[in-house]
Structure 1
Amino acid sequence: MAEAHQAVAFQFTVTPDGIDLQLCHEALRQIYLSGLHSWKKRFIRFKNGIMTGVYPGSPTGLVVVLVGYMSSTKYAQMDPTLGLFTKLGQHLPISKYMAEDSQHVVGGVLVGTGLWVTIIFVMRNVLKYLLSWHGWMYNQHGKMSIKTSIWMVLVRLFSGRKPMLYSFQNALPRLPVPSVKDTMRRYLESARPLMDDEEYNRMEGLAKDFEKNLGPRLQWYLKLKSWWTSNYVSDWWEEYIYLRGRGPIMVNSNYYAMDFLYVFPTHLQAARAGNAIHAIMFYRRKLDRAQIKPLFLLENRVPLCSAQWERMFNTSRVPGQESDTIQHVTESKHIAVFHRGRFFKVYVFYDGRLLLPREIEQQMERILADKSEPQFGEQALAALTAGDRIPWANARTEYFSRGKNKQSLDAIEKAAFFVTLDDTEQRYDTENPIESLDSYAKSLLHGKCYDRWFDKSFNLIVFKNGTMGLNAEHSWADAPIVGHLWEHVLSMDPNKLGYAEDGHCKGKLHPNLPGPQRLQWDIPEECQNIINSSLNVAKALADDVDCHIIPFSDFGKGLIKKCRTSPDAFIQIALQLAHFRDKGKFCLTYEASMTRLFREGRTETVRSCTMETCAFVRAMMRDETREERMKLLKEASEKHQNLYRLAMTGKGIDRHLFCLYLVSKYLGEESPFLKEVLSEPWRLSTSQTPLQQVELFDLKRHPERVSSGGGFGPLVMLQSRLMARLHWMCN
């Protein structure tokens, strides 16, 4: 109980001789250091806000402009105030309070600052205009046109130096709204290989009627929204695709990321957790200070939107009756840890600093050594986050809005992130590769359905044998953002942090470190019944998921590139061929592309089943010549790449159709065309997150550090729920 005594800053007792005041100097010292740390973070955020707000300018640029302006006006013998104080003097007695020289200095500073702000405004808008041009995407691989070269020089000229994570946010263009005519044309083009002549003619009639009558009216509202908001899609996408879902988010929404396949840095669970937690918190510190470099395309010239990083930490999804909300706090100094049915609150700061890996390992060892049993209702409590949302919302209001339950729930929801010290062992087994990876993936995706807090922005899962992984909630950000964090952790863990020879984290134990705090619960029988019901729903869903991961090492993207083919197009075409061989037909196929070339952009759909791809697949099924097949493969690949470019540059169709449908529901207008389009089932979902988004480790020199990436639940399971949600949300 030493930590409990240290938590009390002072005590007093009333005696016959008066009040006996006892101060705990260690507690007061920790309060002082905590406050100092908090003020440092506020100052850094304030400074970063200024730096980001004036980008592509800088405070140094202000000094240069002021010195240059004052010097030039003095040399030219001009009034640096440009007559400002002379005009003011006609109405205000300025000369009584300020000498003429002082007026010149103050006026010159004001005019110079205005000139500096004008320069920033011009540079930012010119940069935004330049970034709205996407012709560079159509250059041949390895070649660059003169127009693109000139454009790159201009982008570099109008971009500032040493950008921080959010520096380009105000310079990114807004996502454009495609024309209804273009969307109708591209939709019919995507639907043609999936319909016979009669179906296609009927759908073409519906599309033309929509284009002529209802479409332009709905489009007007979307245009208005695009002028008023930063992104006309993202807020509706977050709300209606994610937060308004009333079914389980486990499997249906959350996704996972895996550890190294062939590298096992340590067999000690607590040590692996120590390094990983320290690396994640170190990443959070860099994020708070905006020291993470923004991501770029095309030789570090074209910036991507960084908005999704803002809610990575200290974030939880809170259930509601009709819609969930995302709760984000600006600062959190602890993490929540689950082990063997118990919940713990672990502070990761002490003495005003982040705990070192060995000190975090020390805390994890204390939790692992704790032999206490779960309280009544505690063991399966997290199943509430795995089941349907309305029972969880009701239970949260009824049983977790007061007393110790509220305090413990706050400790979880306001934690930096959630950690599970899993009591099972998972690992890639070279002698049994498929079954071992299947078990590993299913454990990360849903576990036992009560040992992950699925509402948290992400869960770090560390298994008994030292293997680890992530489970991430989807509403706050897409997988590449979590992938960026995860690659940082995987690179920092064995390289920069490392382990001692005995497998423990490097460093020494802390002699005075307060231990983890066991969270306390008071779960009544009625709440336990709701927990059991949610657990049954979650288990039925988890048992319905078949997961198979098949390692493939015959060749990779390097060989595909040597054949002058896009690796992404190659995989998409191969999937179409495999599906046709298995089912004997083509299907609507979903591939996600990013729209982060635009402010607050998230994703767009690439409909990768095209007429060109179907022609190639049929050629492969017939006895065609090799030359004919190669010709059709090239055409299919070029078509797919063009669709991907269109999706990335705001000319996709699915987000536009989704928003048009929402406007129609708000207006109470029924559209047979939109209703049918959004009811079409996606039979193949082929989203992926590439490895090595950031060059933190070299897979060519260290191929053993490869990971199998991550995965998500089948999209077909979500399709019926999605349509029910869209019909229900405006009725």
Structure 2
Amino acid sequence: MNAGEELSSRTFGNEERLPRVPLPTLDETCERFLEWCGPLLTADERARTESALASFARPGGPGRRLHAALERYEAGEGVDSWLDTFWPYRYLGRRDRIALNANFFFLFKESPEGQVERAAGLVAGALDYKLRLDREEIPPVVQRGRPLSMAQNRYLFSTTRIPGAEQDTVRAPYTAEWPGPSDARHIVVLFRGNMIRMDVLGPDGRPHTLGELRAGLAAVMKAEAAPEPSAGHLTTKARAEWAASREALLALGNTKALDDVETALFCVCLEDFVPPNPLDACDHLLHGDSANRWFDKAVSFVVFGDGTAGINVEHCGLDGTTILSFVDALLSESPEELSRRSGARSQGLPVVEAIEFTLDDALRRDIGDAAAAFAAYGAATATATVSFDDFGTESVKQLKMSPDAFVQMAYQLAHKRAKGRVGATYESIATRQYRNGRTEAMRVVTPEALRFVEAMDDPAAGAGARRDAFRAAADAHVRRARECQAGQAPEQHLWELQLIQKRRGAELGVTEPLPLFQSPGWLVMRDDYLSTSSAPSVNIRYFGFGSTSEQCIGVAYVLLPDRFNVYLSTPRPVADAMLEFADRLREAVRELRELLA
């Protein structure tokens, strides 16, 4: 957008005027790639990577042809970004299970309300948001005077990921198949393996009152035990296997049942137990009992027996920043005020109807196997929380340092002390200032970070040398984060060139194997030891996701002015190292505060 140009107040009013994601030149990307992977490589690994990179980027070589194809694609009619094809492949192309591996969660702030009251309040707030979104009255998010893309908001309601044999698809409003906002009037409530369709909007589109929503949810909780095992278990399967199961469901005449679930505005999962602590609540938000989930649904609220609540989100169309804005809107005002603003009016008890799937013995076995496999997979994931009540962004700012750089360097120090090495670290950087912008993949390990970690455990280094190393590492971190925000990062660019070869290699005359994508630099840089992402909001206590590889610790953090909460997850074989990392993190934060003070 041009300086001085007036911003639209309509939700999607600025989308066309947002700048496009910059496409780096191939030479810029190659230079950055070597710089980013270099600190993780031995001299021999670096030499082999340099050789593979030179072959890839040589004049007339495969990299040049693939990049030229990407430039032509970006200049094409109707293309918003050179990443338009990348994102669907990145998320919809993954073939393993999305439950626990891709979906993420937020644990909401505490509330005095009981289960039915809390759930009804969340439904009322979500309906207010949906109706305002339909009218484009949700104000566009503006950061430092620049509007951010609001396009992801189109995937909040009635959006469901549909499994496919080769690649998944998305069933959603605002599409050619379903133009404009969702006209669905129902949600799906899950309780004790039952799936219940509940109409929350009347025939004229006006929401039911809070009292009526509570009565409808209370009626759902009186339902008899489900006569058949829950088809929700199937959403935990690897994607191609789930696609085959879905075909089997359709073959048995379950089109309407699937329609009810897939077109529902969102899911509300009511749990019939009280989590003993926040960690247990987080674990159930991340995976939980799959009889009570439909993991392909974009948005699922989960409410426990005591009113503790959170959200599980399918990631393909939604990133954390969009969900945070949504959650803030739901939790920053009272349910009564949100219900009043939505135009809710009394119209009797909501229509409540069981969604029943017709199953045969083969599908019952399939569901049973999926349930057992996912329960085992959840049990094979170790988790922990680390909470600091006396430390937050205010403390770091007083030390004259970037809060994110501070905690990221604390992670590096804690990991080195816990596992004896610095490993590849991913950090998600939001790029919503661009048209259809999502995130950029930042790699945290820099030469300065390595020097900092070494200095901290070098008996010969005094406090001054350690302080200098810490500040240099933090400054390098901030510089790299800014590069990522400006779209100047190598990984997604190179990955998309690899995917272009996969899709169009024969047509472009690039059929030979590309050594770059088997080089130590490419493999080591992307083999996460830490996968990190932050979600700052006073309305959530914890944020979390699964780890991304066999040795990886997922690090999801909520960094606020007065507190810092971290949820960790890792495969159970490395649980001891994760717990050691948690202890070392507490130690590192204390030590680094003292060092700067």
Counterpart among 608, 611, 625 of residue 462 in structure 2 = 625
The structure carrying a bigger helix percent of its residues is 1
Equivalent in the alignment of 2:328 = 487
Q: Give the distance between the partners of 1:536 and 1:246, measured in 2 at CA.
A: 19
Q: Could you tell me the TM-score, scaled by structure 2's length?
A: 0.84
Show CA shifts across 1:277-319 (max 9, x none).
Answer: 0001111111111111111121xx1111111111110111111
Tell me if the contact between 2:208 and 2:346 (Cα under 8 Å) persists in the aligned partners: no
1:274 and 2:120 are equivalent in the alignment:
yes
Distance verdict in 2 for CA 1:579–1:594, change over 3 Å? same
Is the partner of 1:423 in helix, strand or coil? coil
Equivalent in the alignment of 2:156 = 312
Show CA shifts across 1:151-192 (max 9, x none).
Answer: xxxx2x2224x5211111111121121112211211111222
Q: Give the distance between the partners of 1:354 and 1:508, measured in 2 at CA.
A: 4
Residues 520-529 or 645-654, more deviating: 520-529
Equivalent in the alignment of 2:371 = 535
Letter in 1 for 2:68: W
Within-5 A mapping of 1:513-592: 513-592=349-428
1:674 and 2:517 are equivalent in the alignment:
yes
Distance verdict in 2 for CA 1:563–1:597, change over 3 Å? same
Letter in 2 for 1:568: D
Q: Could you tell me the TM-score, scaled by structure 1's length?
A: 0.69
Is the partner of 1:709 in helix, strand or coil? strand
How many corresponding residue pairs? 527
Distance verdict in 2 for CA 1:216–1:513, change over 3 Å? same
Is the partner of 2:322 in helix, strand or coil? helix
Q: What's the CA shift for 1:376?
A: 2.5
Q: Give the distance between the partners of 2:513 and 2:334, measured in 1 at CA.
A: 55
Is the partner of 1:343 in helix, strand or coil? strand
Equivalent in the alignment of 1:43 = none
Counterpart among 261, 278, 281 of residue 440 in structure 1 = 281
Within-5 A mapping of 1:466-505: 466-493=307-334, 496=337
Is the partner of 2:528 in helix, strand or coil? coil
Letter in 2 for 1:488: A
Show CA shifts across 1:560-604 (max 9, x none).
Answer: 111111011111111111111112211111001012121111111
Q: Which runs of 4+ in 1 moved over 6 A?
A: none
1:333 and 2:185 are equivalent in the alignment:
yes
1:225 and 2:62 are equivalent in the alignment:
no
Q: What's the CA shift for 1:626?
A: 1.7
Equivalent in the alignment of 2:249 = 399
Equivalent in the alignment of 2:269 = 420
Is the partner of 2:13 in helix, strand or coil? coil
Letter in 1 for 2:513: E
1:715 and 2:548 are equivalent in the alignment:
yes
Tell me if the contact between 2:186 and 2:265 (Cα under 8 Å) persists in the aligned partners: yes
Q: What's the CA shift for 1:638?
A: 1.2
Q: Give the distance between the partners of 1:679 and 1:577, measured in 2 at CA.
A: 23
Q: What's the CA shift for 1:234?
A: 3.8
Show CA shifts across 1:533-574 (max 9, x none).
Answer: 211221222111111012111211111111111011111111
Counterpart among 45, 63, 69 of residue 215 in structure 1 = 63
Letter in 2 for 1:689: A
Equivalent in the alignment of 2:225 = 373
Tell me if the contact between 1:359 and 1:509 (Cα under 8 Å) persists in the aligned partners: no
- Between the aligned residues of both structures, percent identity stands at 29
Show CA shifts across 1:249-292 (max 9, x none).
Answer: 101110111111xx3321x2111111110001111111111111
Tell me if the contact between 1:358 and 1:508 (Cα under 8 Å) persists in the aligned partners: no
Q: Give the distance between the partners of 2:53 and 2:413, measured in 1 at CA.
A: 29
Letter in 2 for 1:304: L
* Structure 2 unmatched ranges of 5 or more: 174-181, 506-510, 553-597
Q: What's the CA shift for 1:495?
A: 8.0
Equivalent in the alignment of 1:159 = 6
Show CA shifts across 1:603-641 (max 9, x none).
Answer: 111111100011111110113122222212221111111
Equivalent in the alignment of 2:494 = 657
Show CA shifts across 1:500-557 (max 9, x none).
Answer: xxxxxxx999684254111223211111111112112212221111110121112111
Equivalent in the alignment of 2:257 = 408
Equivalent in the alignment of 1:449 = 290
Show CA shifts across 1:417-471 (max 9, x none).
Answer: 01111112126xxxxxxxx222111100111122111010111111111111100
Letter in 1 for 2:274: E
Q: What's the CA shift for 1:678?
A: 4.5
Within-5 A mapping of 1:4-43: none
Equivalent in the alignment of 1:284 = 130
Tell me if the contact between 1:441 and 1:547 (Cα under 8 Å) persists in the aligned partners: no
1:254 and 2:103 are equivalent in the alignment:
yes
Q: Give the distance between the partners of 2:317 and 2:360, measured in 1 at CA.
A: 32
Show CA shifts across 1:119-175 (max 9, x none).
Answer: xxxxxxxx3xx4xxxxxxxxxxxxxxxxxxxxxxxx2x2224x52111111111211
Equivalent in the alignment of 1:12 = none
* Structure 1 unmatched ranges of 5 or more: 1-126, 131-154, 428-435, 500-506, 693-705, 720-731
Tell me if the contact between 1:387 and 1:535 (Cα under 8 Å) persists in the aligned partners: no
Q: What's the CA shift for 1:397?
A: 1.5
The structure carrying a bigger strand percent of its residues is 2
Equivalent in the alignment of 2:177 = none
Q: Give the distance between the partners of 1:368 and 1:511, measured in 2 at CA.
A: 21
Tell me if the contact between 1:206 and 1:673 (Cα under 8 Å) persists in the aligned partners: yes
Counterpart among 440, 448, 451 of residue 604 in structure 1 = 440
Is the partner of 2:302 in helix, strand or coil? strand
